[in-house]
């Protein structure tokens, strides 16, 4: 289910202005907590360093490509 969740995060980031702002301005954990993510994936998502949504989604997609992600 994690790949589905990561896709949902990317889609939400593109469509929801409040979500997009939150994942870029320090309220990322709060917004991501609504998704069912394993702790290790949450750590990886919190480590993303992005100044815009395209950078965030690119790095999110890189995480989704990992063999350990279902």
Give pLDDT tens digits for 23-33: 999 899 999 99
pLDDT at 40: 93
pTM of the model: 0.90
Those residues with Cβ within 8 angstroms of residue 31's Cβ, 6 or more apart along the chain or in another chain: 19, 22, 23
C-alpha span between 64 and 4 (Å, rounded): 9
Rounded to 5°, the CA angle 42-59-67 comes to: 70
Residues lower than pLDDT 50 in the chain:
none
């Amino acid at each position: 289910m994690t790949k589905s969740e990561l896709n949902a995060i990317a889609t939400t980031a593109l469509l929801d202005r409040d979500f997009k702002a939150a994942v870029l301005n320090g309220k990322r954990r709060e917004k991501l907590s609504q998704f069912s993510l394993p702790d290790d994936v949450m750590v990886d998502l919190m480590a993303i360093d992005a100044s815009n949504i395209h950078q965030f989604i690119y790095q999110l997609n890189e995480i989704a490509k990992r063999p350990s992600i279902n």
